[in-house]
């Protein structure tokens, strides 16, 4: 009986030793995308920014004295010349001030003449004459000031340009310096655009741009070269976008204000951002973002990247990727360097 049990035990042990080792785990299945294809391209060739023609400098015009507007001679869109009358104030009060100042000046002049005669006869001291001299000079200056104030009842254009906005109407009482007109002087034109907050970090002043105009067709519709001149550091509180200005090269200085335009930023321009990857593709190594690149032999390696901005659309990559790489689009925290993976046949090239 014992020998039989020993034989059974020995048979079981031999059977266990002859079992095949467990199969090797299959490589992880990953979804990938090709960098620089489809939605991963974030450059001017893929995205245009709508804008409008604006003057490089816009001047706000207002009266230098307070008063009631009695006449307005300029309307929105009117081309005006330097010195042209735009509006007038009621001149009654200013005229009365001139009369009063002239009367004070005449009285001071008469007093000065009498004191000079008295001084010539040594009836008064030199200090008394000096006081009258000072009084006359003050009255003379006040009369000149009153004349200037009377001239300020007429508002004139200080340079050639186009009236862009009318901010006051006849019958309205305006204060000193209150804006009445907004004038766009003739000269350099720019394109005003708005950049989304998720993309603004990708743009730097000096970046090259191409500007095309919707209203210009035919042979004259060639894009104009431009440069990003400035980007506002503060977002608009309503639209949450950042205002930017694109200067134009060789543009007509009389280009109609308000004309619609499209601004594109070509790939390869200094400071241009060309890549957008999903947030799920970013692997964070401490403070250093990175992505997993799938090699030709289906092994993965970690590539550090520079990210200028994060948004719901993805991460804006400004360095570390040249385009054309195949990167893992999801599950990046489950991978290790040198690991072999299987690429999903439904991998996208966004």
Give pLDDT tens digits for 209-245: 888 887 766 555 678 888 999 999 999 999 899 999 9
Token output for 74: 């300029």
- Decide if domain 91-152 falls under CATH 3.40.605.10: no
The residues, any chain, with a CB within 8 Å of residue 111's CB and separated by 6 or more, are 132, 135, 136
Q: Domain coordinates of the chain in residue numbers? A: 28-42+273-343, 49-56+187-264, 59-90+158-186, 91-152
pLDDT tens per residue across span 176-218: 999 999 998 887 889 999 998 877 877 888 888 888 887 766 5
> What percent of the chain clears pLDDT 90, i.e. is strictly above it?
36
**Domain spanning 49-56+187-264 has what CATH number?**
2.40.30.170
pLDDT tens per residue across span 137-164: 999 999 999 999 999 999 999 989 889 8
Please state, rounded to an integer, the average pLDDT across all residues of the chain. 83
* CA distances from residue 323 to 76, 221, 254, 277, 279 in whole angstroms, order as listed: 49, 31, 42, 11, 17
Distance CA 46, CA 29 (A): 31
- Decide if domain 28-42+273-343 falls under CATH 2.40.420.20: yes
Residue 18 pLDDT exceeds 60: no
**pTM for this predicted structure:** 0.55
* CA distances from residue 266 to 25, 42, 272, 308, 334 in whole angstroms, order as listed: 46, 10, 8, 18, 37
pLDDT at residue number 150:
92
DSSP letter string, 85-136: EEEEE--HHHHHHHHHHHHHHHHHHHHHHHHHHHHHTT-S-HHHHHHHHHHH
Distance CA 275, CA 314 (A): 10
Candidates 3.40.50.10420, 3.20.20.370, 2.40.50.100, 1.20.140.10; correct CATH number of 59-90+158-186? 2.40.50.100
């Amino acid at each position: 009986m014992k020998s039989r049990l020993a034989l059974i035990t020995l048979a079981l042990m031999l059977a266990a030793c002859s079992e095949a080792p467990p199969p090797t785990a299959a490589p992880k299945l990953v979804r990938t995308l090709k960098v620089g294809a489809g939605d991963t391209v974030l450059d001017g060739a893929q995205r245009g920014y709508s804008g409008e023609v604006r003057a490089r400098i816009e001047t706000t015009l207002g009266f230098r004295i307070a008063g009631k507007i009695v006449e307005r001679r300029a309307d929105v869109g009117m081309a005006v010349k330097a010195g042209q009358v735009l509006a007038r104030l009621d001149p009654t009060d200013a005229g009365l001030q001139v009369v009063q100042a002239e009367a004070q000046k005449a009285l001071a002049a008469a007093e000065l003449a009498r004191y000079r005669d008295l001084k010539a006869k040594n009836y008064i001291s030199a200090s008394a004459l000096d006081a009258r001299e000072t009084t006359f000079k003050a009255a003379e200056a006040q009369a000149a000031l009153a004349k200037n104030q009377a001239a300020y009842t007429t508002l004139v254009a200080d340079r050639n340009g186009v009236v862009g906005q009318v901010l006051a109407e006849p019958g309205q009482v305006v204060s000193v310096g209150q804006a009445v007109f907004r004038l766009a002087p003739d000269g350099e034109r720019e394109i005003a655009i708005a950049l989304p907050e998720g993309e603004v970090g990708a743009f730097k002043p000096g970046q090259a741009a191409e500007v095309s105009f919707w209203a210009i067709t035919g042979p004259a519709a060639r894009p104009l070269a431009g440069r990003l001149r400035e980007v506002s550091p503060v977002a608009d509180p309503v639209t949450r976008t950042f205002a930017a200005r694109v200067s134009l090269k060789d543009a007509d200085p009389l280009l109609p204000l308000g004309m619609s335009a499209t601004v594109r930023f070509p790939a390869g321009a200094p400071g241009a951002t060309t890549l957008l990857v999903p947030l799920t593709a970013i692997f964070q190594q401490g403070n250093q973002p990175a992505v997993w690149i799938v090699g030709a032999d289906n092994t993965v390696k970690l590539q550090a990247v520079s990210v200028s901005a994060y948004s719901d659309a993805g991460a804006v990559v400004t360095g570390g990727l040249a385009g054309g790489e195949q990167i893992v689009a999801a599950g990046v925290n489950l991978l290790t360097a040198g690991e072999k993976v299987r690429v999903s046949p439904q991998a996208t090239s966004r």
